[in-house]
A = this chain, B = another copy of it.
Amino acid sequence: MRPFEEELNSLNDILREMGGLVAQSIHRSVLSLVEKNEDYAHQVLRDESRINALEIQVDDLATTLIVRESPVAGDMRFVVGAIKINTDLERMGDMAVGIVERSLAAMRQPELPMDVSFTEMGNLVESMVLTCLDAFVQRDAKLARTVLTSDDAVDKLRNTLTRQMVDLMKQDPASVERALDYILIARRLERIADHATNVAEDVIFMVKGIDVRHRQADAAQV
């Protein structure tokens, strides 16, 4: 095996470790709310610095690789993709921390009735994160496309939840803070899903060399 391939593999390994940690943080952030469990919340806060440290490692390794190896087109797209995906993963970690900050307040209050399950929404988002990363490492555009479908499902869940919380706030002023917490938690989950979608679009771009990131922009420019 050439050293360059070894380095690419170690780039993959760090990204996978980072993605695993991010997915775990998302899982725990939702679980902390649903199970009113502070331990999960504190684990998420602790793991953030590890995720941040991995982000720096990925950037350093990717930049070193580019400078030293001047990769050919396909590999270059992969390494540049790693730099972009890295940013998305780190910001997903930030969102998990944001969920936990709300969860630590919300878990002390009685739950509000809702038709949307945070567990369901969280599981969907978590699986999007793992899938987009698998798609990247395996350079699998078909797998990446499944992430785009899940994103629509997450948007729908968020819209349903927001509508219900608005109704609650109108009916019961005592529910305002909690309902706002729920809305903002759902929005953070949705933002994680958006990041996973960005990654999936980068993967499709990388593999196919086609830019699906801005289909409307493309259409407008053609």
Contacts and interface: CB of A to CB of B under 8 A. Distances in A.
Interface of A: 48-50, 52-53, 55-56, 59, 62-63, 66-67, 70, 72-73, 76-77, 80, 83-84, 87, 166, 169-171, 173-174, 176-177, 180, 183, 211, 213-214, 216-217, 220-221
Given A70-B67, A170-B176, A55 B87 contact: no
Given A73-B67, A76-B63, A166-B180, A56 B213 contact: yes
A49 B80 contact: no
A24 B47 CA distance: 38
Contact of A83 (B50, B80, B183, B216): B80
Given A56-B211, A87-B87, A214-B55, A220 B49 contact: yes
Contacts of A173: 169-171, 173
Nearest to A76: B67
Given A83-B83, A170-B176, A217 B63 contact: no
A207 B213 CA distance: 30
A104 to B, nearest CB: 17
A68 to B, nearest CB: 9
A37 to B, nearest CB: 24
